Structure 1
């Protein structure tokens, strides 16, 4: 028995680890660049830790000369703990487990120490900065000074937005702006290209330019945020040969986990770090790259051998997590993507339950169905409910709380309860109880019928007689002729609202008081997404359902916010089911997984679909990967949920769910078309349809009416209808009988 065989035997006897042949190759391939492509549930972290242990115990590498970086602090801590369990004799070894940001900050500190540059971090715990904003940034006399932003990234951006745009920034706009800035930095986009990057915040490039100027000259210190750590680190390593050599000499082996989440600037740092020896092990799964919207660069993995021509590429395709049904379906589903490494995920696990595909009659039934399902499980802590958008969680937590089912929310988004739409609705309700408060009217006057101007509002504020604000407007403020009738009607509507149950009150606010029409105009002016804002209103109606008074509704909102916060501290010991977005579920696994809201417009999103129809497939491929991540979280049972109607409107089942529905043993694992069915040599068309889809012929579509066929290929038909051009799936048209010749 040689040394390597003794190593495998020893680890099997000590900790019960037994590697397959590909995993062993990954451990032994220690010199030079290696790309290890690991399918879900293939034991990549164990393999990575075995590789580090082999370097130390068998090759004599010093632990301190091994650097292992990953995407998040939780992952870095998990690697450290996993290594200590697998190699207890090395538990105190100083292996460099860290995030890439932590390593970058180490370089930045050294760089600024060498150059004598004073700097300050402006990102971290916001709570402390909020106290500073309230207590420290003041004029003489102690009143807050809005012209002096607190030195925290969010507060600086908030100050700059108000200065440049003249309005306060909303929480949604803040998140969009932060994502935009992170994307620009991680993609290494020069200032000349900032305006080309799409952002829901108007003039985001101007705000970013002002932000960069403020960081350099707004204080006596250079201000640095988390994204700057990466760009400054990369620039410093590129500009200072001695600094670069110092870090190159420090590490003989560099390993990067979760590299599908790594950005261009992060890859550039790693490339510089290993340039002298080339001992880089990159562990990734290009099929699980789901963060391109914040700068992750999956294309780098596809180009790995171009960057490192002598690199080895190993495929870990054995799934140890899921049943054969789940593995087979996920493996076939991901093949609808073209820009990927050709992998064949497989498993030796026994078969289990078939994947359940359920299309409910209505959106409201979904939360009730989930509550019934989870309540029937022997151990709800082994179940997860996964969704694409945070908004989906509100209705579910409301239903689960009413049903008395404990839940753990991995990444609860408390912004819903502080959203300005929620606050607007509450202010409308407060006006129904008292119309004598000008301050309340001032918050909503631009969003209701009557078209009250700022000047009229200022005149109203000067009146202090404790009378109705509407009576004061009519009696003491100059109005235009059309306003008089509208304001009288508005007063009457508020008067009737007081007696209404909250759900009916919300509908009155939306339609009779003109709030939804006002939202449409705000979306046109500021670039908000109307479907998001309308979704919030629909969710509020669902929460209000069965409540008797508007006071009950306000109390319910506060209560739900509190239980959402408390849910972060629940554990499996309490039998809590997990609520999570698809993004945050990556790396987790559960016996039972419920993927919900599987409709067109959610996954894939409307934006994904629009780009796809313009032959821009990147976002659609990422949506496919996101769905694949959700599927591969399940160990034993996977249920996919869609519905036919939402808020009175007909919705379509997600094409992804349709693709999984179409899978059966007869497809033999053949590649999927863009619509999800196994790809035949030609669309399955009837002879009549085959004749009708020639270029230049005319057809009638069930929904779009008559149109002229402009182009035909094996997958798509391009047709010009009266409503515009459409690109349709040839197979879907054939199988569903959507087209007939004119």
Structure 2
């Protein structure tokens, strides 16, 4: 792609970002406005026009997955040499390289988790903490180190920040002192120490700073509102006296101040960098006008000078959709039961389960929803639970695939060879074309292996020349980024863990005083952060949005709760729901439930039935002429691409298309078996048959 091609398709504000190839630049990007698109096109445009060599660029973000997405987009734009890393990954790389020269001796072992060391420190202080308290004390130590407060300064810093501590402040300070002593004795280095030591090496060793600054001359920092003082110190050490810096962030999505993050670096960027170019991205491509309107109303009531001065008023770009729904319930059980029932109805109407999310303020709220979804027979995925690539069957499958790749198992290099080879290797781990009967561990194992087989099909479609080595490399990259193949189920997640994600339908639940804002949010600043948390939740929804609250915790309890203050003035017509309760004696243990039939409601277990969305025996209207046309088209397409017909679409997917007769790409995408890759490759032809 050439430089002009990189600019094509950008809106005026995104293009302004892309063309601002010299820093300092500050991009204030609202939710859903295409900030990643803007900054990746800016980097690509700068490299393609000769402003900077790709290997001289360092793009910094906060998660390995976000860094991986940046690298992938930049490769596709013609800038494959750009370094996109997290703060910690970039610091570790530099520290490891310079350690022998400037420090010497055995390098410390990186401490992946503080909890074990905190437990040892507490024991040495003769303090007894439970698992939850240990986790919270570890978080306190992280906050203190991220905000650059030594153990002797900790108590005073807590008082200034009006921070609630998980134990007596003196005890936490004692544990902090002992934690640091044990860490040094055992030659351990935690993540905060890694950043601090890297910054110190750059500050104290001029030759090291010179080499690093020669390597990296062009900086981009994403999610700048989440930068903490320690990360800012490292960034300043990287920069030196230069100003080729582009920062991107949204002050309305500052929700991590409890970890030490502060939006002040973003909000005061023009004060620190006079003459900086500021671009605001406000065109929202994610959500309908109804969702965007509610988001603007929520954040429009934010208090404080900074909120008014830096407000981003989003402008919806999508067609109109349904109005957000507000519902009041008698108790939390009724709320959860009805949310599960409404999610099931959306699935029956064609919204994929993976495009629905239930979001809540605290993780403890998930149990009620796990039980409700299990009882309703609605599949769900608990975000933050066991990671896909850490499952025993997935680890085994990856080992088998890696071994087969080394042995040169795929002699053929076309898509057919990859698909057949992967299925053959997975069969050794127990994979079969037909799913096992029933549910439980056997079914869960099969589903994991089926996800890998589907990933191979998707890769064969996107890259027909890919072989097994490329597939194994893709799996290893996904494992490093924790980028699991999509699993079919409604997402249950906390509001904090939902940041950066989006769904077609979102249920925001438990919106009562004491939960949102949380009861320990006492200062005006803390309350305003809770408001921003609701704003983040609202802006996760593309089309369907429902907000709800319950007046009591348990059935029959006193109805004393009040809806969240953040709903004052933004609530449209509120309905009071008293749904029939599920039979609690029939409620299964909390685990992912099967998808229900959209005709009779029976749980679907067979793979073909899940693709169709109904039992094979249930009566359903089918356009026979359309099905015949789809089969003819598939045969011709498969012959042209020299792949088996099922690689294009399976029989079940063609039948589902003929049953639902989608009229738009959005409708087609909701059908199981039509992923993003197949939609891009075949969507236009399929829709032409449906509408013709």
TM-score normalised according to structure 2 size: 0.64
Tell me if structure 1 keeps the 8 A contact 2:124–2:178. no
Please state whether the residue corresponding to 2:188 is helix, strand or coil.
strand
Matched residues in 2 for 1:661 and 1:18: separation?
37
Match of 1:575 among 476, 484, 488: 488
1:654 and 2:549 correspond = no
1:573 to partner: Cα distance? 6.1
Please state whether the residue corresponding to 2:17 is helix, strand or coil.
helix
Tell me if structure 2 keeps the 8 A contact 1:45–1:79. yes
Matched residues in 2 for 1:100 and 1:178: separation?
20
Tell me if structure 2 keeps the 8 A contact 1:409–1:567. no
Match of 1:409 among 370, 382, 386: 382
Could you say which residue in structure 1 is the equivalent of 2:649? none
1:575 to partner: Cα distance? 3.3
Could you say which residue in structure 2 is the equivalent of 1:19? 10
Structure 1: runs of 5+ lacking an equivalent: 125-151, 415-558, 665-742
Please state whether the residue corresponding to 2:568 is helix, strand or coil.
helix
Match of 1:226 among 191, 205, 210: 191
Aligned residue runs from structure 1 range 287-306, under 5 A: 287-306=252-271
1:621 to partner: Cα distance? 1.1
Matched residues in 1 for 2:45 and 2:18: separation?
7
TM-score normalised according to structure 1 size: 0.60
Match of 1:256 among 218, 221, 231: 221
1:362 and 2:331 correspond = yes
Could you say which residue in structure 1 is the equivalent of 2:81? 94
Could you say which residue in structure 1 is the equivalent of 2:109? 121
Could you say which residue in structure 2 is the equivalent of 1:374? 343
Partner deviation per Cα, 1:481-515 (whole Å, 9 max, x = no partner):
xxxxxxxxxxxxxxxxxxxxxxxxxxxxxxxxxxx
1:60 to partner: Cα distance? 5.1
Matched residues in 2 for 1:60 and 1:31: separation?
8
Please state whether the residue corresponding to 1:644 is helix, strand or coil.
strand
Matched residues in 2 for 1:179 and 1:163: separation?
19
1:663 to partner: Cα distance? 9.9
Gap change, CA 1:26 and 1:212, over 3 Å in 2: same
Matched residues in 1 for 2:338 and 2:540: separation?
21
Gap change, CA 1:154 and 1:190, over 3 Å in 2: closer
Match of 2:45 among 47, 54, 60: 54
Could you say which residue in structure 2 is the equivalent of 1:386? 359
Matched residues in 1 for 2:51 and 2:194: separation?
33
1:106 and 2:72 correspond = no
Matched residues in 2 for 1:68 and 1:285: separation?
17
Could you say which residue in structure 2 is the equivalent of 1:624? 531
Please state whether the residue corresponding to 2:491 is helix, strand or coil.
strand
Partner deviation per Cα, 1:429-483 (whole Å, 9 max, x = no partner):
xxxxxxxxxxxxxxxxxxxxxxxxxxxxxxxxxxxxxxxxxxxxxxxxxxxxxxx
1:257 to partner: Cα distance? 0.9
Match of 2:33 among 32, 42, 50: 42
1:170 and 2:130 correspond = yes
Gap change, CA 1:573 and 1:60, over 3 Å in 2: closer
Could you say which residue in structure 2 is the equivalent of 1:71? 62
1:185 to partner: Cα distance? 1.1
Matched residues in 1 for 2:63 and 2:83: separation?
14
Matched residues in 2 for 1:60 and 1:280: separation?
14
Matched residues in 2 for 1:372 and 1:241: separation?
64
Match of 2:120 among 148, 159, 170: 159
Please state whether the residue corresponding to 2:207 is helix, strand or coil.
helix
Could you say which residue in structure 1 is the equivalent of 2:540? 633
Tell me if structure 2 keeps the 8 A contact 1:592–1:638. yes
Gap change, CA 1:663 and 1:399, over 3 Å in 2: closer
Matched residues in 2 for 1:283 and 1:569: separation?
38
Tell me if structure 2 keeps the 8 A contact 1:411–1:581. no
Please state whether the residue corresponding to 1:385 is helix, strand or coil.
strand
Matched residues in 2 for 1:79 and 1:596: separation?
32
1:30 to partner: Cα distance? 1.5
Partner deviation per Cα, 1:143-162 (whole Å, 9 max, x = no partner):
xxxxxxxxx73222112212
Please state whether the residue corresponding to 2:570 is helix, strand or coil.
helix
1:213 to partner: Cα distance? 1.4
1:111 to partner: Cα distance? 4.4
Tell me if structure 2 keeps the 8 A contact 1:65–1:251. yes
Gap change, CA 1:104 and 1:573, over 3 Å in 2: closer
Could you say which residue in structure 1 is the equivalent of 2:605? none
Could you say which residue in structure 1 is the equivalent of 2:550? 643
Tell me if structure 1 keeps the 8 A contact 2:192–2:230. no
Matched residues in 1 for 2:334 and 2:323: separation?
22
Partner deviation per Cα, 1:271-305 (whole Å, 9 max, x = no partner):
22223321000011111111111111112211112
Matched residues in 1 for 2:339 and 2:256: separation?
28
Tell me if structure 1 keeps the 8 A contact 2:328–2:550. yes
Partner deviation per Cα, 1:529-552 (whole Å, 9 max, x = no partner):
xxxxxxxxxxxxxxxxxxxxxxxx
Matched residues in 2 for 1:387 and 1:297: separation?
23
Matched residues in 1 for 2:210 and 2:341: separation?
61
Partner deviation per Cα, 1:608-654 (whole Å, 9 max, x = no partner):
1xx2xxxx311111111111000000011110010111131321111
Tell me if structure 2 keeps the 8 A contact 1:182–1:227. yes
Tell me if structure 1 keeps the 8 A contact 2:74–2:82. no
Could you say which residue in structure 2 is the equivalent of 1:732? none
Match of 1:320 among 273, 285, 288: 285
Please state whether the residue corresponding to 2:33 is helix, strand or coil.
coil
Could you say which residue in structure 2 is the equivalent of 1:479? none
Matched residues in 2 for 1:646 and 1:20: separation?
47
Could you say which residue in structure 2 is the equivalent of 1:672? none
Matched residues in 2 for 1:230 and 1:123: separation?
13
Matched residues in 1 for 2:285 and 2:566: separation?
24
Structure 2: runs of 5+ lacking an equivalent: 388-439, 452-483, 575-692
Tell me if structure 2 keeps the 8 A contact 1:71–1:259. no
Could you say which residue in structure 2 is the equivalent of 1:207? 175
Tell me if structure 2 keeps the 8 A contact 1:230–1:265. yes
Partner deviation per Cα, 1:674-730 (whole Å, 9 max, x = no partner):
xxxxxxxxxxxxxxxxxxxxxxxxxxxxxxxxxxxxxxxxxxxxxxxxxxxxxxxxx
Partner deviation per Cα, 1:578-612 (whole Å, 9 max, x = no partner):
1111111111111100000111110101111xx2x
